[in-house]
């Protein structure tokens, strides 16, 4: 037999690659399970999450007031707190016990206590205290109550200071109030919103998780359909590692380039989230992210023996992966060990890079670390995918060979019996 | 009469033994019931081990470089949560550092701060926080706002001292009203306490959903459902009880483990004593198992049942309202949140372990969890039909 030339091999490889690509595409769109993960989940989950967090901030936290002074100053304080957006004065109680009872009944999440010497202290030129007590079941309650009370106290302090200073002009009053003025700017999330902070991370994580689930599911199915429970079928087109990995990868990549457009461009628009990224930076960034996710999922899918087990193994990991990415729990506070663990997952770099491009308008220059890391991951996981597939091809060949030998031995045995 | 009763018990025992064998036969069960929850217990508590993040990196842009500006920055650096890691030449440099992720915020001091302040021309300082990282941004906001207030105060105080005021008088003039904050039962503002108390049971819950759905659905898939029913005296109740009791025991042990770990070892606030929490965990385990039965009962296809379990499980974390309060959600979602066991568990935890209220105050939530437990009776017959007639389709 003539040795196939290098050129023949290449053309055959490319031919097979597209054959496998087509096959994978067909199985993807014929398999309801895979369709759930590749289409339905990316379509629906962002909408559910967006709906949950769409109010962005907590307004009008119910608060009880215990006012032991009943002076015009204390009433002014309470009125101003009530006027802030974050807090609503639900009711007044005559003593602390009554207030505590209401908090136990979940009628309020905070308590403002104005002591009896409040106005007297101010009139005498002494410092006075207003106490706030917060239910710590949600930190956003605490934050709302604290910020409102502080803002009101600063405002009233200013007026008290001015009235004591005995100035003659308005300008002097201003300077007395604030010898040094200050501004605060909440960059990249001006309303301090929960959705603007969490949703982008969830979107990126969703891409990785659905790929893990979808690819895991189809790997499980392939094994169940295979006679020897192998991942790679016996077929003349499934001969080389590279063509299988590239063919499958290409078909997932094409599906997910469309899904990504929906998840990363349409969804934020629906919920009017921040979107200040440069489109070309985003496209260039998504390239290695998708590649890394796909090859990561293909490598991980080797562990999946049955169709449905991927869900048991991968679904719960979404929560730890969101936390380890450093978006909700600050990266600076993550212990080194978990930081190293987080480098395994494409989502860590994906989330940080995407948030910076999309929310903070960074260019690829600023996220070069994440960008490079994703390319490295894509490369490494490509190699591991090739390696595990190579191993699988060899295994399935071995299984076939064993089976063939077995059959042949049987045949020989039976033919011998006949001749005997 | 006696005999039939006896027979029921023996068949229950046989189904339980069969289930125990099934549980040890596949590493998948070991993973979902023991390894994965255990990993998550340790993961979340060590990830947030510091409780409250300290020394978050910020930058400084000091265009004044006077003794006043330097003292402001020195004082800011001394705050527990802020750590000035870099100084930048201009606003743009600082912004780029923020986009690079080096810092979570920066403090900007304009030119002529000192001279303007002394001559009464009201200089303006500013600070910027990156609220795309909400927790870091909020914590830094607090410190930098405080510092900005103090910066103005320091100047006024110097003037007041010069006019002959005592320290006490000066303080009273500068800050006539102070806010005295009492974060009840979590005075350290410990995020680990705030999040782990619900994250950890939540993970266990999602794994219970999955395991329950899978262990029933796989019988349909592998066509062993009839054999299972036959062993259970052809009664769906006996068969189901026999299947679920061994799992209940394992999951309950896992929940006792996290309770002792959180409240006994890590000393998270537990003002009610540990018993009400263990009771609540038992109810959570049973309610989650019941949800699992309902899921596979309504969708007797393994794939759909598990998809349902994943959806319910993952949404639980958001809708139970331990990070973003339910009161701020859309009214429809406020109603829907009652359909998630984790929501009730969270409210029980807040009342009991965190605040130490009597169990009476959370009776509605205990009732809700009990209601979840009787929910499977609605799908029993449907499930039985599925077990007998349903054919697995991939």
Contact B314 A329 (CB under 8 A): no
What pLDDT is recorded for position A1?
46
What pLDDT is recorded for position A293?
96
Query: Does residue B199 register a pLDDT over 90?
Result: yes
Selecting from B47, B178, B324 the residue whose C-beta is nearest the C-beta of A338 gives B47
User: Per-residue pLDDT tens for A184-215?
Assistant: 888 888 888 888 889 999 999 999 999 999 99
User: Per-residue pLDDT tens for B105-156?
Assistant: 999 999 988 888 888 888 999 999 999 998 899 999 999 998 998 888 888 8
Average pLDDT of the residues in A13-30:
85
B-chain residue closest to A48, CA distance: B315
Q: Which of B81, B324, B343, B358 to mutate to test the interface with A (most CBs of A within 10 A)?
A: B324
Give residues with Cβ within 8 angstroms of B272, minimum separation 6: B351, B352, B353, B356, B357, B359
Query: Does residue A179 register a pLDDT over 70?
Result: yes
Q: Could you tell me the two tokens for A109?
A: 């999440």
Q: Are the CB atoms for A334 and A324 separated by under 8 Å?
A: yes
Sign of the CA dihedral B46, B48, B51, B55?
Answer: positive
B-chain residue closest to A47, CA distance: B315
Give residues with Cβ within 8 angstroms of A352, minimum separation 6: A325, A326, A327, A331, A367, A370, B101
Query: Does residue B57 register a pLDDT over 70?
Result: yes
DSSP code per residue over A85-106: SSEEEEEEESSHHHHHHHHHTT
Contact B134 A197 (CB under 8 A): yes
Contact A362 B361 (CB under 8 A): no
Contact A316 B217 (CB under 8 A): no
DSSP code per residue over A234-299: --TTS--HHHHHHHHHHHHHHHHHHHHHIIIIIHHHHTT------HHHHHHHHHHHHHHHHHHHHH
User: Per-residue pLDDT tens for B251-277?
Assistant: 999 999 999 999 999 999 999 999 999
Contacts of B51 in chain A (CB under 8 A): none
Average pLDDT of the residues in A86-111:
93
CB atoms inside a 10 Å sphere around CB A49:
21
Contact B131 A129 (CB under 8 A): no
User: What proportion of chain A, given as a percentage, has pLDDT over 90?
Assistant: 57
Of the candidate ranges B81-90, B168-177, B325-334, the one whose mean pLDDT is the lowest: B168-177
Tally C-beta pairs within 8 A across A and B. Answer: 327
Contact B131 A187 (CB under 8 A): yes
What pLDDT is recorded for position B155?
81
Average pLDDT of the residues in A347-375:
93
Closest CA–CA distance from residue A187 to any residue of chain B (Å): 5
Which residue, A356, A365, A325, is CA-closest to B101?
A: A356
ipTM of the complex in this document:
0.92
B-chain residue closest to A327, CA distance: B133
Query: Does residue B301 register a pLDDT over 90?
Result: no
What pLDDT is recorded for position B151?
86
User: Per-residue pLDDT tens for A281-323?
Assistant: 999 999 999 999 999 999 999 888 888 888 999 999 999 999 9
Contact B354 A137 (CB under 8 A): yes
Distance of alpha carbon B239 from alpha carbon B216, whole angstroms: 10
Query: Does residue A402 register a pLDDT over 50?
Result: yes
Distance of alpha carbon A157 from alpha carbon A177, whole angstroms: 8
Contacts of B131 in chain A (CB under 8 A): 186-190, 192, 196-197
B-chain residue closest to A130, CA distance: B179
Q: Could you tell me the two tokens for B5?
A: 């009763």
Selecting from A57, A157, A311 the residue whose C-beta is nearest the C-beta of B210 gives A311
Q: Are the CB atoms for A90 and A62 separated by under 8 Å?
A: yes
What pLDDT is recorded for position B294?
95
Sheet containing strand B177-184, strands side by side: A87-93, A61-67, A110-114, A128-135, B177-184
| Global pTM value | 0.93
Contact A161 B176 (CB under 8 A): yes
Q: Are the CB atoms for A105 and B361 separated by under 8 Å?
A: yes
Half-sphere exposure of B215 (CA within 13 A, CB side): 35
Contact B127 A184 (CB under 8 A): yes
Closest CA–CA distance from residue B75 to any residue of chain A (Å): 16
Contacts of B359 in chain A (CB under 8 A): none
Average pLDDT of the residues in B92-112:
92
User: What proportion of chain B, given as a percentage, has pLDDT over 90?
Assistant: 70
Query: Does residue B379 register a pLDDT over 60?
Result: yes
DSSP code per residue over B288-332: HHHHHHHHHHH--SHHHHHHHHHHHHHHHHHHT-SSS-GGGS-HH
Sign of the CA dihedral B12, B13, B15, B19?
Answer: positive
Closest CA–CA distance from residue B141 to any residue of chain A (Å): 8
Contact A360 B155 (CB under 8 A): no
What pLDDT is recorded for position A23?
85
What pLDDT is recorded for position A3?
61
């Amino acid at each position: 037999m003539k040795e196939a030339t290098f050129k023949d091999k290449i053309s055959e490889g490319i031919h097979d690659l597209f054959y496998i690509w087509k096959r994978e595409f067909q199985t993807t769109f014929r398999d309801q399970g895979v369709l759930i993960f590749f289409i339905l989940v990316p379509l629906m989950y962002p909408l559910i999450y967006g709906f949950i967090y769409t109010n962005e901030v907590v307004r009008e936290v119910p608060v009880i007031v215990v006012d032991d002074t009943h002076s015009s100053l204390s009433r002014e304080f309470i009125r101003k707190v009530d006027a802030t957006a974050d807090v609503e004065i639900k009711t007044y109680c005559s003593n602390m016990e009554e207030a505590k009872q209401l908090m136990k009944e979940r009628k309020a999440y905070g308590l403002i206590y104005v002591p009896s010497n409040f106005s007297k202290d101010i009139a005498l030129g002494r410092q006075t205290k207003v106490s706030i007590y917060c239910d710590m079941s949600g930190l956003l309650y605490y934050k709302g109550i604290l910020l409102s009370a502080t803002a009101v106290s600063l405002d009233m302090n200013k007026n008290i200071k001015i009235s004591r200073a005995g100035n003659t002009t308005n300008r002097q009053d201003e300077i007395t109030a604030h010898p040094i003025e200050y501004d605060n700017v909440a960059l990249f999330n001006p309303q301090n919103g929960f959705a603007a902070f969490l949703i982008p991370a969830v979107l990126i994580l969703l891409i990785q998780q659905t790929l893990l689930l979808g690819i895991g599911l189809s790997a499980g199915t392939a094994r169940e359909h295979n006679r020897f429970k192998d991942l790679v079928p016996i077929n003349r087109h499934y001969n080389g590692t590279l063509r299988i990995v590239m063919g499958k990868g290409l078909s997932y990549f094409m599906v997910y380039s469309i899904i990504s457009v929906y998840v990363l461009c349409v969804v934020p628009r629906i919920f009017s989230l921040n979107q200040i990224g440069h489109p070309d930076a985003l496209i260039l960034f998504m390239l290695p992210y998708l590649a890394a996710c796909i090859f990561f999922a293909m490598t991980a899918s080797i562990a999946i023996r049955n169709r449905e087990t991927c869900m048991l193994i991968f679904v719960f990991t979404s929560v730890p992966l969101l936390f380890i990415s450093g978006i909700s729990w600050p990266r600076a506070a993550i212990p080194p060990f978990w930081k190293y663990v987080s480098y395994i997952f494409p989502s860590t770099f994906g989330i940080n890079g995407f948030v910076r491009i999309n929310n903070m308008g960074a260019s690829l220059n600023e996220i070069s670390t994440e960008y490079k890391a994703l390319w490295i991951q894509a490369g490494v996981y490509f190699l591991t995918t090739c390696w595990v597939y190579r191993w699988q091809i060899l295994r399935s060949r071995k299984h076939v060979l064993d089976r063939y030998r077995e059959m042949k031995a049987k045949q020989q045995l039976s033919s011998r019996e006949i001749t005997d | 009469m006696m005999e039939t009763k006896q027979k029921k018990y023996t068949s229950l025992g046989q189904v339980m033994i069969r289930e125990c064998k099934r549980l040890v036969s596949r590493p998948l069960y070991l993973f979902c019931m023991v390894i994965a929850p255990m990993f998550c217990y340790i993961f979340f508590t060590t990830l947030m081990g510091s409780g409250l993040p300290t020394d978050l990196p910020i930058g400084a842009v000091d265009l004044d470089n006077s003794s006043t500006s330097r003292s402001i920055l020195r004082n800011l650096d001394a705050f527990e949560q802020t750590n000035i890691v870099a100084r930048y030449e201009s606003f743009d440099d600082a912004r780029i550092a923020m986009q690079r992720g080096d810092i979570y915020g920066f403090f900007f001091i304009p030119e002529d701060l000192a001279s303007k302040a002394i001559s009464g021309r009201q200089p303006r300082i500013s600070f910027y926080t990156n609220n795309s990282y909400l927790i870091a941004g909020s914590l830094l906001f607090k410190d930098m706002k405080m510092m900005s207030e103090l910066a103005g105060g320091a100047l006024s105080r110097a003037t007041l001292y010069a006019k002959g005021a005592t320290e006490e008088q000066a303080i009273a003039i500068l800050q006539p009203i102070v806010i005295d904050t009492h974060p009840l039962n979590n005075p350290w503002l410990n995020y680990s306490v705030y999040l782990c108390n619900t994250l950890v049971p939540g993970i266990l819950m999602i794994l219970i959903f999955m395991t329950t759905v899978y262990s029933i659905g796989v019988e349909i898939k592998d066509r062993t459902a009839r054999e299972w029913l036959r062993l259970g005296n052809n009664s769906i109740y006996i068969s189901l009880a026999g299947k679920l009791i061994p799992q209940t025991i394992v999951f309950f042990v896992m929940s006792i483990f996290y309770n002792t770990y959180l409240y006994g070892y890590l000393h998270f606030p537990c003002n009610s004593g540990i018993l009400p929490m263990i009771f609540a965990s038992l109810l959570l385990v049973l309610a989650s198992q019941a949800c699992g039965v309902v899921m596979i009962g309504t969708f007797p296809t393994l794939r759909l049942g598990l998809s349902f379990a994943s959806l319910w499980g993952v949404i639980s974390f958001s809708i139970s309202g331990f990070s973003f309060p339910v009161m701020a959600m859309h009214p429809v979602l406020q109603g829907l949140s009652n359909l998630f066991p984790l929501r009730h568990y969270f409210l029980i935890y807040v009342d009991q372990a965190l605040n130490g209220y009597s169990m009476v105050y959370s009776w509605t939530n205990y009732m809700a969890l009990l209601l979840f437990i009787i929910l499977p009776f609605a799908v029993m017959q449907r499930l039985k039909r599925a077990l007998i007639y349903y054919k697995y389709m991939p």
